Structure 1
Amino acid sequence: MFRKIDQTRTADAAIQQIEELILSGVLRPGDRLPAERDLSGELDVSRPVLREALKTLEQRGLLSSRQGGGTFVADVIGPIFSEAVVALIGRHPSATSDYLEFRKDIEAVAAGHAAERASQTDHKILTEIIGQMDSAHAAGDHQREAELDVGLHQAIGEAAHNVILLHSLRSCYRLLTNGVFFNRQRLDHHPTAHTVVLAQHKEIVAHIIAGDAQAASEASRQHIAFVSQALIEAEEAQARKLVADQRHQQRQNSVPAPTKPRSVKASSS
């Protein structure tokens, strides 16, 4: 990941290299940097120079250090909305459709750029994630599928090789991961959603690998459109089930207890 600094082995040169790794998304929030001795060796700078660089990066809010725990990449993404707006959205689920509409547009752009710019390594990453999604789907592990879903879309954003798009998408997916708009597990109530979504992910990746930007963008749009409709159908199905369960419970509660049959006295002959 790190490369030796060829010329002036200054703190500024070390700062620039680490900043570039954070900006390009190679170093992610929460990633731990190598130990000071190892990192100074990889950069080929003295430890005092490295300490100066790390201190500057920490002052800039890009790194954070933990006593006895090492140095980590700070939460450079941050929330896309303030806590107040997030809470407001949480109280008004109607914002979900706007969120999905936004994702449909921005992810279509990302998929198109990925088809045009992705490297062989990007292709390998996308293919590996699809393989993991296949395994999770076969095992019926919907929680793992949900995690990989976010991971795949992030990888597509990375393959687009646009740092503004990359960090915008990461912030956008944080809301998805936190369940601010919806929880992907709600799709469990849809009879075919998991199978269709997997097939759609495979189609998007196939178009990216083929270098077909238009097809990749359209497949991405169709994917989000399906998710949006599937969520509506899943909610409707869940609502119907809830009403049916309530009716069934009420019927059980209202059934009168069986009465004992009257005894018939025998008549004398």
Structure 2
Amino acid sequence: MADFLYNNIAQQLEKEIQGLPEGTRLPSERDMAQKYGVSRNVLREAVRLLSEKGLLNSQPGRGIYVANDSKGKFADRLEELLLHSDSGLAEMVEVRESLEMAIVEKAVLKASDADVRDLMRLYQAMEAARDDVEGFNRLDREFHVQLAKCTHNTIFPILINAFFQITDEKLFLLTELFPGRIDSAQREHRRFVEAILNRDVEEGRAVARKHFSISDLLAHMQQQEKIDKNRGANM
């Protein structure tokens, strides 16, 4: 019953704060508890629930404020769910491949001239960072986030960032083990830019399929497993 009560209050409160500017201070706990006809403990649970969703910011001794961090909370929650699921790396890469293909399709149709200039700037920076794997990987992440921004849909960059957090530490390790991946990655990055410039959706899809090929990923992982086994046998 208590769970239902504070969830009900949270829903009412969420509706009331919609449209309020970020940083708006809400009435005191006592006043809100009186308004909704509940105890302060129930009100606190409702506030906690909305704080976890990134909609409120409760500051002890200062008050409760309207927040706007729902995107960050969403990304963190998605990452937590995936990390604690039974999904393997190949499954995550498969989903990310589909996500990237959707992003490229939208980017080809919606990217502005400024968006394309930003992509080309990142591509050129990666060219200059070929001998710096860490720097290259950081720029690679920026490139794909920028690609997602080219869709002008705010959800795509959030999802891409979440998948980078989950998968790319392992994928970047493969880049370190197989430097040739940098060459192929750069060819594909350039093709992404050209597909957008030419408004060529089919080319964008083809590049995305190649860029996130699960078979290539598994082949690299199997090759690394053989290397590790050989090292163990020679020790």
Normalised-by-shorter TM-score class: 0.5 to 0.7
* Residues 1:82 and 1:203: Cα distance change in structure 2 (over 3 Å): closer
* Residues 1:101 and 1:82: Cα distance change in structure 2 (over 3 Å): closer
The 3-state SS of whatever aligns with 1:54 is: coil
Match of 1:87 in 2: 84
Match of 1:96 in 2: 89
Match of 1:157 in 2: 148
- In the alignment of these two chains, the number of paired residues is 188
Match of 1:171 in 2: 162
The 3-state SS of whatever aligns with 1:167 is: helix
Contact 1:54 1:63 in 2 (8 A): no
* Residues 1:55 and 1:165: Cα distance change in structure 2 (over 3 Å): same
Q: Distance in 1 between matches of 2:160 and 2:179?
A: 29
* Residues 1:100 and 1:107: Cα distance change in structure 2 (over 3 Å): same
Q: Which has the higher helix share?
A: 2
Match of 1:222 in 2: 210
Q: Distance in 1 between matches of 2:216 and 2:79?
A: 29
Correspondent of 2:23 among 34, 54, 57: 54
Shift of 1:239: 2.3
Shift of 1:234: 2.6
TM-score normalized by the length of structure 2: 0.66
The runs of 5 or more residues in structure 1 that have no matched partner are 1-11, 16-52, 250-269
Q: Distance in 2 between matches of 1:102 and 1:84?
A: 14
* Residues 1:55 and 1:213: Cα distance change in structure 2 (over 3 Å): same
TM-score normalized by the length of structure 1: 0.59
Shift of 1:81: 3.4
* Residues 1:152 and 1:62: Cα distance change in structure 2 (over 3 Å): farther
Larger Rg: 1
Shift of 1:56: 5.0
The 3-state SS of whatever aligns with 1:175 is: helix
Aligned residue identity for 1:224: F
Shift of 1:127: 0.7
The 3-state SS of whatever aligns with 1:104 is: helix
Shift of 1:133: 0.8
* Residues 1:208 and 1:63: Cα distance change in structure 2 (over 3 Å): farther
Aligned residue identity for 1:188: E
Shift of 1:173: 2.9
Shift of 1:191: 5.2
